[in-house]
Amino acid sequence: MGWHRDGMEGFFVLRALHIALFILLGTPFCDTSPLGAPPTAAVSTALIKRGDTPPLVPPGSNTADPATFISFYEPACSLGLWSERLRNDDMRKYGWKQDAQWEGHPFGDNFPPDQCVNVKDLQSNLDNSITAYRVTGYCECTFFDKQDCDGPLFAAFNREDGALDKNGPDNDRISSFKCSPRNGYDVFQEGQVKLSYYGGTGLDVNITKNDIALWKEEPYGELVGISHTVCYNMPEGFKLSTYWLRGVTCRFYKSSGCPREDMTSQVGNAGVQGWRRYLERLSLTRSFEPKSFRCFLPFGIETPEWPQNGAEMWSEA
């Protein structure tokens, strides 16, 4: 009996501690839910909250602030989605607002390639409201009719359309997309560069596949060159007047050997860049006449009104 009494006293002490902790914490030590029911609501809600994560989206902006506008003339994969029409470069100067928009880099900030993105996660008003898009850089983007990349509509590589409402059945239908690395080397055949010289013989250079460096996509990262493209040095005393390009994007340098710190301009695209005066477009003095150039697999759709300054350009590997 002594042992039994001691055991009963221990039981009441434990029970009293249990009740006291229950009052303080408000949570029972044992599962009081009916047999077969899930854990208590407090635990279940906590698990759900811990499992909630924001949607995975690439870096970009859905504001109309010109400071957030991206360049569509660089090797990095670039995507623009608009509800009204294309955002042109002159909108940086004059300003313009759409009902909904998004511009960003599908591979930026280590965002994985081939990752499905729902448009509503970029801007809710943009879902099923896209009338214009632009895809540039070394990538191809596929667009889908439904969320979670269900129901493919079309794919685009270095392409834009500012009037889906007039060009086919895809207006106000895009709900998701995913982008994949692509550089166009498989379809590249040949490029051509023609340079005219003040009072002298010009240059005519064919750019072959052997002259173009392959590019590879680092996992979730930036495009880096496996090797440099061929650098062409101008003849001694060559004074560039005008240039003509076909099927390549080229960079000019103010020194021989194509040192990237001496890049003065970048011009060209996958199409034909008609004869243009070099100095007028650059608004430079003759001391900046290029001494060398190299060309790449084409990226971008149009050459900007003014070639971008070398310091602002994506750096070469």
Summarised one tens digit per residue, pLDDT across range 259-278 is 878 888 888 888 888 787 76
Does one domain contain both 83 and 106? Answer: yes
Q: What is the pLDDT of residue 3?
A: 42
Looking at residue 246, its pLDDT comes to 92
d(CA 305, CA 90): 9
Q: How far is residue 157 from each of residues 78, 134, 174, 183, 221, measured CA to CA in Å?
A: 11, 9, 17, 9, 19
Q: 195 and 174 share a domain?
A: no
Q: Which two tokens stand for residue 240?
A: 């560039």
pLDDT band at 311 (very low <50, low <70, confident <90, very high): very low
Of 160, 181, 202, at which residue does a domain stop? 181
Residue 207 inside a domain? The answer is yes
Residue 125 CB neighbour total at 10 angstroms: 14
Give pLDDT, residue 52. 62
Note the pLDDT of residue 36: 31
Position 317 scores a pLDDT of 36
Q: Which residues contact residue 187 at a Cβ distance below 8 angstroms, ignoring those fewer than 6 apart? A: none
Q: Which residues contact 131 (CB under 8 A, 6 or more apart)?
A: 82, 83, 84, 85, 162, 163, 164, 165, 171, 172
**Domain boundary, last residue among 129, 154, 181:** 181
Flag whether 28 is in a domain: no
196 and 130 within one domain: no
Q: Is 25 inside a domain boundary?
A: no
How long, in residues, is the chain? 317
Q: Do residue 131 and residue 71 come from a single domain?
A: yes
Over the stretch 61-76, which tens digit does the pLDDT of each residue have? 998 888 888 888 888 8
Note whether 156 and 251 are same-domain residues: no
Tell me if 145 is assigned to some domain: yes
pLDDT of residue 187: 85
pTM here? 0.72
Among the three residues 181, 213, 233, which one is the final residue of a domain in this structure? 181
Does 19 map to a domain? Answer: no
Establish if 50 belongs to a structural domain: no
200 and 109 in a common domain:
no
- The set of residues, in sequence order, having a beta carbon less than 8 Å from that of 311 and lying 6+ positions away, is none
211 vs 228: CA distance, rounded Å: 9
- Number of domain units in the chain: 2
Flag whether 46 is in a domain.
no
Asked if 114 and 153 sit in the same domain, the reply is yes
Q: Based on the domain organization, do 82 and 177 belong to the same domain?
A: yes
How confident is the model over 238-246, as a mean pLDDT? 88
Q: Does residue 153 share a domain with residue 83?
A: yes
Highest-pLDDT range among 6-20, 47-61, 198-212: 198-212
205: closest CA among 242, 244, 239?
A: 244
CATH code for the domain of 159: 2.60.20.10
| Domain ranges, residue 131 | 60-181
81 closest CA partner among 37, 117, 35: 117
pLDDT at position 92, please?
55
Residues 174, 208 within the same domain? no
Residue 163 lies in a domain: yes
Query: Do residues 155 and 216 share a domain?
Result: no
What share of the chain in percent tops pLDDT 70? 67
Same domain, 160 and 272: no
